[in-house]
């Protein structure tokens, strides 16, 4: 599998990673999927303390025992469980980040995290304090690098100018091209890598699966029409899912796409996108003409 560098860091990742959120809570099944992914060249495993209230981190940690050196391990922080209250609160404070990382390390069964990511963010956050926390953890060797997971261009712009983030995780697909307007050009200019989540748009662009509901900016009828047009660009060796993943990898600022997988079939379909040729510029431009770009409101 092709390896790409994350930003200006020493971290190199296979161009197809694994978003672990959809693994579920069955340990045997999750372990089997992670092991298969690693054996087929996946290196980036992305989880978060939020997923299944920490259970996802535990499953990932157990699955990589004895294989830690094979993995670029990424997790996230910022969502805080408040005792006596339902749900999660948002806490990007330095004190909380320095505390939460210890719990993530415990659940993951490791003494360092390759990529620690702020799981959201607003302009009202104490951004300088948040950056201080990540920089301290980096200096202490607790994390190797840090990034943010955000779809807000103004927040991304703040971190890109003030911090040493190496990556931004952002939603990007053929049916959600908002990142092309502001985020991707900014990241390319700054030498920061994008980690793409949702390249298959929660199954809307999955092969052998007919969507039953609309997605933002596309009514169901429009989505089905687009799928029909895109399927004309597929071939015996390139499914619709793989076309969608390759599209998300076509921008030079993108280092890795992390489609989720809840079954071995989905996992193999996703990973196979690494074995097909990159899209030609002609393919990319045709897909852009067929799809919509940034019609619905940007998140600020």
Report helix angle 264-271 to 27-39, nearest 10: 20
Q: Specify which residues 111 forms β-bridges with.
A: none
Query: CA-to-CA distance for 232 and 212, rounded, in angstroms?
Result: 21
The sign one gets for the Cα dihedral 48, 52, 258, 221 is: negative
- Show the tokens assigned to 259: 């489609």
Query: CA-to-CA distance for 20 and 244, rounded, in angstroms?
Result: 19
Query: CA-to-CA distance for 145 and 134, rounded, in angstroms?
Result: 8
Residues 6 or more apart whose Cβ sits within 8 Å of residue 212 = 220
Active site residue 296: no
Report helix angle 127-140 to 94-108, nearest 10: 40
Query: Which stretch of DSSP H or E encloses residue 183?
Result: helix 183-190
Residue 155's alpha-carbon distances to 13, 150, 240, in angstroms, are: 25, 8, 33
Residue recorded with tokens 């030498």: 191
Residue 218's alpha-carbon distances to 178, 224, 230, 300, in angstroms, are: 14, 9, 15, 21
Ramachandran angles phi, psi of 129, nearest 5° = -65, -40
Instruction: Point out the catalytic residue in the list 51, 96, 116, 172.
Output: 51
- The 10 Å Cβ neighbour count of residue 72 is 21
Catalytic positions are 51
């Amino acid at each position: 599998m092709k390896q790409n560098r994350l930003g200006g860091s020493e971290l190199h990742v296979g161009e197809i990673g694994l978003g672990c959120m959809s693994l579920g809570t069955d340990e045997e099944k999750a372990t089997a999927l992670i092991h298969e992914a690693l054996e087929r060249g996946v290196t980036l495993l992305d989880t978060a303390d939020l997923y299944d209230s920490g259970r996802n981190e535990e499953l990932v940690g157990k699955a990589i025992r004895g294989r830690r050196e094979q993995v670029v391990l990424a997790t996230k922080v910022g969502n805080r469980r408040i005792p006596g209250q339902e749900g999660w609160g948002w806490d990007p404070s330095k004190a909380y980040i320095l505390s939460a990382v210890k719990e993530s390390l415990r659940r993951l069964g490791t003494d360092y995290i390759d990529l620690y990511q702020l799981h959201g963010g607003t302009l009202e956050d104490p951004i300088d304090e948040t950056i201080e926390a990540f920089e301290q953890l980096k200096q202490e060797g607790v994390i190797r690098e840090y990034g943010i997971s955000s779809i807000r261009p103004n927040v991304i712009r703040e971190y890109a100018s003030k911090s040493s983030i190496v990556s931004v995780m952002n939603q990007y697909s053929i049916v959600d091209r908002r990142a092309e307007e502001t985020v991707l050009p900014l990241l390319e200019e700054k030498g920061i890598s994008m980690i793409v989540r949702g390249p298959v748009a929660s199954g809307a662009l999955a092969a052998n699966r007919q969507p039953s509901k609309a997605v933002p900016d596309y009514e169901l009828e429009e989505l089905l029409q687009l799928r029909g047009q895109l399927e004309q660009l597929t071939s015996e060796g390139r499914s619709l899912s793989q076309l969608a993943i390759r599209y998300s990898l076509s921008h030079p600022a993108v280092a890795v796409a992390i489609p989720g997988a809840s079954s071995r079939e989905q996992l193999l379909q996703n990973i196979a996108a690494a074995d097909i040729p990159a899209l030609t510029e002609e393919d990319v431009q045709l897909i852009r003409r067929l799809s919509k770009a940034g019609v619905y409101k940007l998140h600020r």
